[in-house]
Structure 1
């Protein structure tokens, strides 16, 4: 395909990585990682995130409060905070590293090797950012499932369930991983286009000659 060029693939990778980074950044600060409502009081909905706990009522609206102590947080939230911040940081560095390596960008001109290395670095960092997004989201989801089916809690007690931020986190992490993969694909496509064409007169490409015996017909 004409449109499937290394330049187009690089820009697609940058766009997908940027979208995944923005989604992960929003997910980090959304108080919608877990949600809970009680059958005894259906007008109240509780929401929990990495930084805040919120209560929504029809009369007052939504009210959020930050956690009182970091050390008092559950282990899954403490680990998720660190990993999500690492994800946002590495995703931003991935974009900064890959942008000068794009074809058509007036940076690192005359240094194709440096541009290639910057794209590879951007792909690696994008992968790392995606994995550090998927890991905490999946960990919190696992803990939520375990607590939800814990038979030690009475049935009348409300249980935490998945919130919208869980799904946005999975989407952002996958987008970052896909963006990093597309950077590697763009590098491979560029290497294939820069490969010198085979010379017909080279010894490797020299065709075999056939030798015929001259015979006379009487």
Structure 2
């Protein structure tokens, strides 16, 4: 696989990944009401990072934003922060990767400079993907824990609403995964774009570092 193809594929995967995590962050279906034991109901509750919604059987959806920040659970605030950090890093990575593309000529920019930009954008993509995957996974873990507790309460006769995974979680996982893979591909492309002399210098530095640590 040539460096140009690897770099281009990494760029498009990163672009699709940032679109996925933005969509996931904005969606209201991070958790939705579990209808396994009650498939026929007039309303379905759902909740996202920014508001909670009630969907009626007629299709009408009424949403109420979370007006306060201090009153929100720490988990929701942490997930918000992780997703926003992922979006910011991925956006910066997209901008950097545009200038790093070999098919775009900017003045007399050398291959070494483009390789460094490619590595920078790759690292940003990878970190953004990890942030998104972490935020979605933490939220999903809380749903699992609450589902188990609510199931026990329901079996004891308590009337509680159980929640399960919403589509936003899967969109976030896919988006974060695409960013992570795109970042790895950009880093691989950087190695191939490095001039031979610079590559030999880096390899020699790695060998010396390995000797010192052994």
The Cα of 1:40 is off from its aligned counterpart by: 9.3
> Quick one: distance in 2 between partners of 1:73 and 1:26?
21
Whose helix proportion is higher, 1 or 2?
A: 2
Q: 1:5 to 1:45 in 2, by over 3 A?
A: same
> Quick one: distance in 2 between partners of 1:195 and 1:113?
10
Q: 1:6 to 1:147 in 2, by over 3 A?
A: same
Following superposition, which runs of at least 4 residues in structure 1 exceed 4 angstroms of deviation?
A: none
Residue aligning to 1:5: 2
- For these two proteins, the number of residue pairs brought into alignment is 191
> Quick one: distance in 2 between partners of 1:15 and 1:33?
26
Once the two structures are overlaid, the 10-residue window that deviates more, 145-154 or 163-172, is: 145-154
Residue aligning to 1:17: 14
> Quick one: distance in 2 between partners of 1:101 and 1:185?
14
Residue aligning to 1:46: 45
Is 2:171 aligned against 1:168? yes
Q: Which digits, 9 at most, give the CA deviation of each residue in 1:110-169, with x for residues without a partner?
A: 422211110010011101110110111000011111111116962031211100001111
TM-score by length of 2: 0.83
> Quick one: distance in 1 between partners of 2:85 and 2:192?
30
Larger radius of gyration: 1
1:171-190, aligned counterparts within 5 Å?
Answer: 171-190=174-193
Residue aligning to 2:143: 144
Is 2:114 aligned against 1:120? no
Once the two structures are overlaid, the 10-residue window that deviates more, 107-116 or 137-146, is: 107-116
Residue aligning to 1:31: 28
Q: 1:146 to 1:37 in 2, by over 3 A?
A: closer
> Quick one: distance in 2 between partners of 1:108 and 1:74?
50
CA contact (8 A) 1:37 1:44 kept: no
- Unaligned stretches of 5+ in structure 2? 198-214
Q: 1:11 to 1:34 in 2, by over 3 A?
A: same
Q: Which has the higher contact order (CA 8 A, sep 6+)?
A: 2
CA contact (8 A) 1:101 1:107 kept: no
Q: 1:108 to 1:102 in 2, by over 3 A?
A: farther
> Quick one: distance in 2 between partners of 1:68 and 1:99?
38
